[in-house]
Amino acid sequence: MNQIQNIKGTHDILPKDTKKWQDIEHIIYQTCRLFGFKEIRTPIFEKTNLFSRSVGEITDIVSKEMYSWNDKDGTSLTLRPELTASIVRSYIQHNLKTHSTIQRLFYIGPLFRRERPQKGRQRQFHQFGVEAFGSENPEQDAEIISIAWHLFSKLKIIEDVELKINSIGSSECRENYREALKDFIRPYFSSLSDTSKIRFKKNPLRILDTKNTDELNILKSAPNISNFYTEEDKTHFKTVLQFLQSMEIPYKINQTLVRGLDYYTKTVFEFTSKTLGAQDALLGGGRYDNLVETLGGKPTPGIGFAAGIERIIIALESKNYNFSKQIPDIYFICIDEKALETTLSITKKLRENNFSVIFDPLRRSMKSQLREANKFGTKIALILGEHEMNTNSIIIKNLSKKTQKTCSQSELFNFLY
């Protein structure tokens, strides 16, 4: 019979790798605590129109990449392709505004996009993200960006990352810019790719995202969005940059950075890393001051980002990051069947005293148990055999120093501490 394999673009995270995830998650939790962000967990699937209304009908995510199906009652449901929309839905539904005027939220979890799998791009991947609701001020933008900065510093990859930032202005600015960009592109329309032709009609700003070299050449002389900023847009962006400088966070302004989701307004940013190859975006985010209202809530500004955890792992592995290991404190070697009851009772007490202990339920020889203890990197082996049972004693073997001593079973804990 054929073995069943996992689905293309999904990955098992095997025991040899889970510690990497736990290490990163640990630093994420510590970082979020420092900034006062609290964790939120929302369902893996939502109604499809949540994503089409927020991320946007003609974005790649919604038009091509969603895993959607009709439920038995006919409702269209979708495996979440991103989390900002779900968080906003939950924020509105549970009226989180009344709990605190500023809501500082973070999440870690799986997402699903039907993209072409390659290094750093899966169909099921995981994000860590933060969202802050309630402030439209530039200090909130700067603080959000500084969370990412803090995280990458703690993970020791800050030298490899580059912060790219832009402002796509307010709706008013984008409306004027959209027309100017269309006027500029119109003479070249027939030479555009099919994707750009659709974008020209539905969301011309996204043409700036193109990777097509001919189009990039045309766009070199395209009008610049910064010439369309309102006074308020200009002041906001300038102040965000000023605050970043005061925190000594270096950035590069990239006027073609528009991001592939429709809900953004004003500040948008990405952290890229040259260690990642083609899929070089470690993290992306921005301000979405109209999204809460678009999804039926009271007008509330918001800003956030999300980082791909698989990509963080690639970045860490390329630097030979020293991930921690799960090594048991004690390997308990029982070499006499009659000692099994005592083995179980002592191992129980050891665990109650917070020692991690494993023993061999295969009743193998002392030699093979010692070999396994060394393989696990365990420092201490406790040995219980017929002689020790007869004398109420136990052998404590220090496997790294290669020394051993015998003590009475009742005194064991005095020797272990």
Amino acid at 363: R
- Spacing of C-alpha 288 from chain mean position: 20
CB of 172 to ligand HAM, least distance (A): 21
List interacting residues with ligand HAM (CB under 6 A).
Answer: 82-84, 113, 115, 120-122, 125, 127, 129, 131, 261, 281-286, 304-308, 310-311
CB of 241 to ligand HAM, least distance (A): 19
Express the helix, strand and coil content of the chain in percent, nearest 5 each: 45, 20, 35
In terms of CB distance, is 282 or 335 closer to ligand HAM?
A: 282
d(CA 193, CA 204): 13
Q: How far is CA 359 from CA 214, 244, 342, 368, 391, in A?
A: 65, 53, 12, 12, 21
CB of 79 to ligand HAM, least distance (A): 13
CB of 374 to ligand HAM, least distance (A): 38
Residue number with the smallest Cβ distance to ligand HAM:
308
Residues β-bridged to residue 286: 268, 304
In terms of CB distance, is 277 or 377 closer to ligand HAM?
A: 277
CB of 183 to ligand HAM, least distance (A): 29
CB of 145 to ligand HAM, least distance (A): 12
Geometric angle at alpha carbon 85, from 80 and 90, rounded to 5°: 100
Residues β-bridged to residue 118: 121
d(CA 45, CA 363): 47
In terms of CB distance, is 204 or 284 closer to ligand HAM?
A: 284
In terms of CB distance, is 28 or 261 closer to ligand HAM?
A: 261
The two beta strands, 38-39 and 103-112, are: parallel
In terms of CB distance, is 314 or 382 closer to ligand HAM?
A: 314
Q: Residue 234: which of 242, 222, 245 has the closest Cα?
A: 242
Q: Residue 28: which of 16, 43, 13, 38 has the closest Cα?
A: 38
Burial class (CB within 10 angstroms; exposed 0-12, middle 13-18, buried 19+) of 312: buried
Q: CB atoms < 10 A from the CB of 338, how many? A: 12
CB of 296 to ligand HAM, least distance (A): 19
Residues β-bridged to residue 106: 39, 130
In terms of CB distance, is 97 or 121 closer to ligand HAM?
A: 121
In terms of CB distance, is 133 or 331 closer to ligand HAM?
A: 133
